Amino acid sequence: MTTTDTAKVVAVTGASSGIGEATARRLAADGHRLFLGARRTGRLETLTGEITAAGGTAAFRRLDVTDAADVRAFVSAAREHHGRVDVLVNNAGVMPLSPLDALRTDEWDRMIDVNVRGVLHGIAAALPVMRAQGGGHFVNIASVGAYEVSPTAAVYCATKFAVRAISEGLRQESTGAIRVTLVSPGVTESELADTISDPAAREAMKTYRAVALPASAVAEAIAYAVAQPPQVDVNEIVVRPAASAQ
């Protein structure tokens, strides 16, 4: 672990696996103090223990980003535990792809609740805290699906287009005190595809994900944005596998 005088308090949603877990490990190694949230507390406990054993600083709380009150409690707990909240990584997401004519409206609602409302709940909870302390940084995780649409992914892409729009609006309204970074990964090794229940979409995703980034590559991009000095705001990062056309 590296400790510097630029260490920050970083809260991460969806921290139990994939990009969230990799980000927690990477930022802890940089000396930042982590507060981790997800529904799977067993995994959070293991991750927190491993970070602490390696010399880092981390704590966790169960979190459901679809519940605005729970997100407020999460941010409040992070502040109480570490004294402030410098960065919120809005990472939690789901991707149950299916063609629109499959009419999986429950899955559409789930994507909207987690991918869009979850980000809004994070902003609503952390923005007053950051304004009161004189600054802060939102890192919102989108997708290359925020820039293009593909079959079976219409609703998922819509949610990521929304995250992109919300991030840009927040940036324009922040007048420099609050930094905003949108990180849009291409195909990344994660459990995200496990939420696909439509058989055809699941099979197509196996081909689509044949070339994938390790989650650690996305964590590196997040670490880069977080490490910039206060006067530098890295607004958008798109990270794709070099061998992929997607």
Active site residues: 156
- Find the helix packing angle between 154-174 and 118-133, rounded to 10°: 10
Element (H, E) at 89: strand 87-90
Rounded CA-CA distance 112/130 in Å is 25
The CA distance from 225 to 86, in Å, is: 13
Structure token pair of residue 70: 């729970």
Task: Write out the DSSP string of 205-228.
Answer: HHHHTSS-B-HHHHHHHHHHHHHS
Q: Are strands 9-13 and 57-62 parallel, antiparallel or unpaired?
A: unpaired
CB atoms within 10 A of CB 21: 26
Quick check: 228 and 8 in contact, CB under 8 A?
Answer: no
Q: CA angle, corner 195, sides to 194 and 197, nearest 5? A: 100
